[in-house]
Structure 1
Amino acid sequence: MRALDHKLMRDLWRIRGQAGAIALVVAVGVSLLVMMSGMLQSLRETRIQYYESYRLAEIFAPVTRAPTPMVERVADIAGVAAAEGRIRGAALLDMPGQALPVRAAALSLPRSMVPRLNNLYLKDGRLLAPGHMDEVVVLESFATAHDLALGDHLTATMQGSRRDFQIVGFAASPEFLFTTAPGEFVPDDARFAVLWMHEEALAAAFDVQGAVNEVLIALEREANANDVLAKVDRLLDRYGGQGAYLRKDSMSDRFISEEIAGLSATSVVVPPIFLGVAAFLLYIVITRLVQAEREQIGLIKAFGYTDFEVALHYFKLVIIIAVIGAALGCALGLWGGRLMAGVYQSVYHFPFLVFRVEPSSFVTGIITSVFAASAGGILVLRGVFRLTPAVAMRPPAPMDFSRTGALNNRLRRWLDQPTRMVLRRILRNPGRIGGAVLGIAVGMGLSSAQMSLMSGFDDTLDLTFGVIDRSDVAVTFFEPMPAKTAFNMAHLPGVLEVEPVRSVSAVMRNGRQSYRGSVTGLVEEARLNRAVRKDMSDITMPTKGIVLARALADTLDIGPGETLRVEVLNGRRPTIDVQVAEVAETLLGAPAYMRFEGLNAALGEVGRVSAVYLRVDASKMDALYAALKDMPTVAGVTQREDARAAMQKLMDTGAGAMRYVMAAIAGIITFGIVYNAARIAFGEQSRDLASLRVMGFTRGETSYVLLGELVVVVLLAVPLGVGIGYYLSFLIAAGFSTDLYQIPTGFRPDAFGAAGVAVLLATVVSGALVRRDIDKVDLVETLKTRE
């Protein structure tokens, strides 16, 4: 082994603590990149494979009642590869121990039990037996939420009639990766069920014998989806067609698409921030390491080694540290990704989910780490290489403080000698101290931004269910009800206040741009279900026109004053043109609002009510639920607290769970920065500290000289870290925000205070570790010149 390689091994062992801390900073940045990119790739591929394996339809065409032969006519449309009809109905389930009924979708299975499209993944039990019309297969996620077992019985209300069913199987379906009750925004496995039944039994329950009320369509590979949609709508219009829509517009696929889009945005925005911070910190650390090696560099050059050989020696040092960190990061990323894959599989109900990482993610992490380390070495070695060996072997000349005598005299009067030594060292090395301050500030900024993000998630919940939705119970109806419904609701047990809402499903179009969603009509000065902006100010419902959320307006490429075409998919399915009155920044979803009276007038249905929001006396909740159960027009009842719990689960799983991982990583980086600063300062001053001990300074005074500098650096870094964290929080929040929800950002004293306390704790721990090394210093060995 060459002499320089021997020195390299000794140097790595000598600075093993610093090298380990640097490698850990690199590792956490690389692990985040590997984990998020791998998770994103795995989700995308798993969804594609699941959809293809179980033949999820590409077009859904709901219809009031279409004769069965019409399915063959749909199949004959150019571009259609396959078509299948089915019956779909709504039901209410009475679950033991629950006062509220649970909404359910009932779907028919053909006699063969193997649908051509939207096939089932049977997880337990069996499919329906021929002739047993009282058997059902239940969505497995709902069964798990209610601890249902094979052989259990369910009581369901369909079309006003109560029926008893026996559970014979549990199944999953690519159609129901997320389960959301009609009219609700947040998915909840416990509050929405799916039942698969015999086609004959369901046809009898909903009086659609010889007909279907939904057509599922698969497209040929080169088919034009929009052309097929138009032809299907024309064909089914006479049978009460409600507007065919693509798979991407179904609620389940929309949710999983939003989750993937959110994870994609997060993986684009957040890992580069962490890797950038790690690269910057690596540069600072390597710079100070090489500066500390100045005398050794001069000695090596004096022995005849060329600049290239010296450079290669130090590049080996930094590259070994960077590669070790990157390799550790790749391993941690794989381990963390597999753990996250289990979380995603349970949340999204995939039957399989294999975590796989593209080789490019590993290559990116390693190249970034090596580049950052190399850049730091080049910048500092460039200055050292200009020196002759004789000059390089001498310590750098100290700054001239001869004109600060008056200041020194004043300091001598008020400060003791160790404190003056700390201040002189800081003043004589402003660049190095500035780098340390900036490094710790960036680490604290990263931590505070993550804590601010976590507070933002909590604020979204509080604002949604404390400011926007201030009702106790929401009641939805199977169909629009007359105006007197709200009056009747006010006389139910315990009801203190009633607020009606009109909502219609619609396709909104602006030229070639379209969006399938809903238009909600709110009463003037709504109190229980408000429309608010991001700053929590009320959105005033215009007398005429429509208010669009910014996300929806951007999708439709439309602004205030322009005309929006709204194709209503309910009832008589009118098409109305309405002027955009305002585009508002909202927190949740992509809503479209109109005034209650204005929407009904545009539809030609004065006073119709789709749902009501109720404020209720808590002591009479049970009596209210009993009354609502006996109302056949009620499609569902939702408690605000249940909706809040469901949204909390949504934000704490999937892409939202990444914020906890990144908060932990930010904490590790912060500790690594502070510890590195302390270790490097100790390495630079070890001979000086040993000299102080020889001159009679106590161990405590010697430690004070070193750690006092660290304390000053940290105190200077904290306010700077607050500013960095404030601006980082906006960037990271933008990465986590989706069309489903926006994460509010701003100055959060609790988040920044917690990050500051974390930095101070890291300082205390790092100081204690370094103080232990100071006490163990061998004075004679340290004062010797290192070869």
Structure 2
Amino acid sequence: MVSLLDRKLLRDVAAMRGQVITIALLVAAGVAVFVGSVSTYNSLGTAVERFYATARFPQVFVTLKRAPLSIVPQLNAIPGVATVEARIVREVIVDWPAASQPVSARMVSLNHAGDERLARLHLRRGAAPEPGSPRSAAVNEAFAEANGVNPGDDIRVLLNGKVEAFHVSGVALSSEYVYAVKPGLPIPDDRLYAILWVDRRAAEAAFDMKAAFNDAVISLAPGADPKPVIDELDRLLEPYGSIGAVARRDQPSNRFLEDELNQQKVMSTTIPLIFFGVAAFLLNSALGRLVAAQREQIAALKALGFPTATLMLHYLKLVLVIVLIGSALGIAAGWGFGRAMIASYQGFFRLPELPFGLTPWSAVLGIAISLTAASLGVLTALRQVVSLAPAVAMRPAAPLGFRRSWIEALLPRAATRSRRLMILRNTAGRPFRSVLTVAGVAFAIPMMVLGIFWRDAINEMIDLQFNLVERGNATVTFPHPLDRSILRDLAREPGVLVAEGQRIVPVRLRAGQRSYLTSVIGLSAGDELRRPHDAILHPIAAMPDGITLTRRLAERLDVMVGDIIAVEAMEGRRRKRDLPVTAIVDESIGMASYMEIETLNRFTDEGAVISAASLYVEPTAMPALGRRFKNLPTIESVTMKAYTLSSFMEKIAGLVFVTAGILAAFATIITVGVVYNSARISLQERAWELASLRVLGFTRGEVGGILFGEFAIEIVLGILIGLPLSHAVIGLIAGFHSNESFQIPAVIATQTYFIAAGVVLAAAAASAYIVKGRVDRLDLVAALKTRE
């Protein structure tokens, strides 16, 4: 049998359905962001670990110029080494007829037909090249899908100045190229970069590497420390042109993947914490005010003999109903959020399978946090009511003690008419209630900004990196350093307006116990096509007597301007030199360093050489120049800014915008829930006063104006506080989300602030319209009736 209080519960839920739904949506938004973020992180991490294990992903990687296979036993004998796989790896050009520019590719030799002891291939279609097959190749899935390549097709590769045709035997995935990116670029372009796996004999013949290798991957014994292994590898392979062994953390694909996993981990804690914290606060205050508004009902029930514990249980049931409704919606929305995130990752990271799985503990914890926050708000308000004698509690609350405030003294006489004074004094006379409403609106603003500021950040990254720093629209790299006279040849190509040379040298930077393997870029003092900038966007020229670092690289090494760092060239004679840090520059992508090119050439003792060139090309001449570069053996790869930006927007920005769109939707829900409940509960709390004013002769419009005047003051104050609060929240989030691959700028456009404030104002206007109908239908007798 349904008890009296349970029937009241059902009637309350039906009567307050608007408030119940909006409060439940607050719970849903917090639970959804928490469950979706945590589950996405766990799903992605589990898929990566599974693939790394089955594909035998190496733990140490080393690239060198050329070494005999006879040295491999010495490498195997290094303490801590379990397996060594020696390979041939070279960058080549693919002549793909459908591409308007040269397609860069990395050719990797296979020793065991794809079933390698390390870095084993995962075949998606077809088969790996058979042992001894001279013209068969497997191609990576990302390139195959982007260009419509299928097993049985032919692919033309430029080798030693001649075009050789390879038969595509299969389409594969590799743990080394989950994130396949062209060297020197942070962003993959699947249309213009391929991985080709060929049998070792084919690679030996193509690159004159008989009984030799120029690349090795190593696995370690369980528990082995990679650092001494890397040190010994560098010592043994230095005579063979090693550019330095790196641990798994610094392998390009894995570095980006780990950065994204770490960022997703941060997102699964920081953003849900902010969303959940705000939602829990609002839930606590909304339900607390809702219960306090029923003080007369509670007192009447207590007078009828209902024990305090029974009344508390009754209102906890109300909390439970609302939280369960919200949690059910939140878990469903979190499932959709997570699936959308995983779907966006599937085109970004190439894994054999990337299923989404809901993390059960996140759902349980989300429900528990929501239930706890709601229960605390209800019990706090209930305790204040039940502590009063029933006869006292059933009477309306004592009127406020109105008095002239300092605010009134600052206002002109026209602003202190009776109704305006009532609005001001009601707002100031209930400071706790006013503060709760203002705080709710103030926290809603950062939620909206957090959902939509990502577009501002992406635009800032593009503007800084591709308009201020990298001002050319094409970049070419050479297979080996060439004399600077090559710039004259490039400048004579049709459509080339400016050509500037750069020398890029792999280096290891050391500062005390800290070290980092990166590249130093040699620039000329008058270069215009690549110009590093400082924090206030002033161009910084490379100094002839030192080295310039990007800010994140300086932070990684823990150095400042004026500090001395050790610079070790990882090619040629591997010279070492101590240099002062002469400047620190800001860049959005990567962690680079700069030197004046003549100083760098003297340091490496190579003469006036360059290894890359930045070009500014007449846009209409781009297609013809791309076709021309396909046939130049001196060019190893070509990068055109338009394609890079297109890939950036498709890959990085696309992934970010999926998250941003979903967060913006949840933020809108929170905003509407906050504003509507504030207005609705204010009416419930003020019903007796408003009815009294109606009896005294105030019109409906005048009564509504008093209520909405107070509401407008609270909304405006909340917006004014929320806007600077948004900047602090975004700064915190941007700091947590930056990594070695990308720096998320804490930039908020003016229009973003306007959008966030506009959503709050729209929610306020809609809420006022709904509440106005209730003011017009106010039952004066019921509102003024005093229970005896």
132-141 or 576-585: bigger deviation:
576-585
**What's 1:280 paired with?**
281
Alpha-carbon distance change, 756 to 198 in structure 1, aligned in 2, over 3 angstroms: same
TM-score by length of 2: 0.92
2:495 matched to 1:494? yes
Shift in Å at residue 135 of structure 1?
2.1
| Cα separation, 1, equivalents of 2:150 and 2:113 | 25
2:381 matched to 1:380? yes
454-463 or 6-15: bigger deviation:
6-15
Shift in Å at residue 226 of structure 1?
1.7
**What's 2:445 paired with?**
444
| Cα separation, 1, equivalents of 2:412 and 2:11 | 42
| Cα separation, 1, equivalents of 2:186 and 2:512 | 27
Q: Is the 8 A contact 1:58 1:219 kept in 2?
A: yes
Aligned length: 784
**What's 1:222 paired with?**
223
2:358 matched to 1:365? no
Alpha-carbon distance change, 639 to 322 in structure 1, aligned in 2, over 3 angstroms: same
Kindly provide the amino acid, as one letter, of the partner of residue 760 in structure 2: V
What are the equivalent positions in structure 2 for 1:617-628 lying under 5 Å apart? 617-628=618-629
| Cα separation, 2, equivalents of 1:113 and 1:782 | 81
Deviations 1:217-251 (A, max 9, x none): 11110222122222323333333333222222111
Shift in Å at residue 259 of structure 1?
0.8
**What's 1:562 paired with?**
563
123-132 or 334-343: bigger deviation:
123-132
Q: Is the 8 A contact 1:57 1:117 kept in 2?
A: yes
**What's 2:182 paired with?**
181
**What's 1:524 paired with?**
525
| Cα separation, 2, equivalents of 1:543 and 1:427 | 65
Deviations 1:709-739 (A, max 9, x none): 4344323332222222222221222233222
Shift in Å at residue 398 of structure 1?
1.0
Q: Is the 8 A contact 1:411 1:420 kept in 2?
A: no
**What's 2:126 paired with?**
125
Kindly provide the amino acid, as one letter, of the partner of residue 96 in structure 2: M
Deviations 1:236-270 (A, max 9, x none): 33333332222221110111011112222222322
Kindly provide the amino acid, as one letter, of the partner of residue 619 in structure 1: T
**What's 1:760 paired with?**
761
Shift in Å at residue 382 of structure 1?
4.1
**What's 1:159 paired with?**
160
Q: Is the 8 A contact 1:398 1:428 kept in 2?
A: no
Kindly provide the amino acid, as one letter, of the partner of residue 671 in structure 1: V
Kindly provide the amino acid, as one letter, of the partner of residue 61 in structure 1: V
Shift in Å at residue 18 of structure 1?
0.8
Kindly provide the amino acid, as one letter, of the partner of residue 602 in structure 1: F
Kindly provide the amino acid, as one letter, of the partner of residue 302 in structure 2: K
Alpha-carbon distance change, 413 to 249 in structure 1, aligned in 2, over 3 angstroms: closer
Q: Is the 8 A contact 1:412 1:420 kept in 2?
A: no
Q: Is the 8 A contact 2:565 2:580 kept in 1?
A: yes
Shift in Å at residue 767 of structure 1?
3.1
Any idea what SS the aligned residue of 1:189 has? coil
**What's 1:145 paired with?**
146
Any idea what SS the aligned residue of 1:634 has? coil
Deviations 1:133-155 (A, max 9, x none): 32221111011111223322211
| Cα separation, 2, equivalents of 1:64 and 1:665 | 54
Kindly provide the amino acid, as one letter, of the partner of residue 626 in structure 2: Y
Q: Is the 8 A contact 2:122 2:172 kept in 1?
A: yes
Alpha-carbon distance change, 639 to 632 in structure 1, aligned in 2, over 3 angstroms: same
| Cα separation, 1, equivalents of 2:773 and 2:145 | 54
Q: Is the 8 A contact 1:498 1:614 kept in 2?
A: yes
**What's 1:37 paired with?**
38
What are the equivalent positions in structure 2 for 1:448-527 lying under 5 Å apart? 448-527=449-528
2:631 matched to 1:630? yes
Shift in Å at residue 569 of structure 1?
2.1
TM-score by length of 1: 0.92
Kindly provide the amino acid, as one letter, of the partner of residue 288 in structure 2: T
475-484 or 764-773: bigger deviation:
764-773
| Cα separation, 1, equivalents of 2:403 and 2:769 | 36
Shift in Å at residue 606 of structure 1?
2.7
In the alignment, structure 1 segments of 5+ residues that lack a partner are none
Alpha-carbon distance change, 243 to 746 in structure 1, aligned in 2, over 3 angstroms: closer
**What's 2:115 paired with?**
114
Shift in Å at residue 746 of structure 1?
4.5
**What's 1:744 paired with?**
745
**What's 2:436 paired with?**
435
Alpha-carbon distance change, 413 to 529 in structure 1, aligned in 2, over 3 angstroms: closer
Q: Is the 8 A contact 2:591 2:741 kept in 1?
A: yes
Any idea what SS the aligned residue of 1:536 has? coil
Q: Is the 8 A contact 2:465 2:587 kept in 1?
A: no
Q: Is the 8 A contact 2:542 2:595 kept in 1?
A: yes
Shift in Å at residue 670 of structure 1?
0.8
Supply the RMSD in Å over aligned alpha carbons: 2.9
| Cα separation, 2, equivalents of 1:273 and 1:40 | 17
Deviations 1:615-644 (A, max 9, x none): 222333344334433321111111111111
| Cα separation, 1, equivalents of 2:431 and 2:136 | 79
**What's 2:719 paired with?**
718
In the alignment, structure 2 segments of 5+ residues that lack a partner are none
Shift in Å at residue 542 of structure 1?
2.2
Any idea what SS the aligned residue of 1:194 has? strand
Any idea what SS the aligned residue of 1:394 has? coil
Shift in Å at residue 271 of structure 1?
1.4
**What's 1:248 paired with?**
249
Shift in Å at residue 433 of structure 1?
2.8
Any idea what SS the aligned residue of 1:115 has? coil
Any idea what SS the aligned residue of 2:169 has? strand
| Cα separation, 2, equivalents of 1:533 and 1:786 | 72
378-387 or 81-90: bigger deviation:
378-387
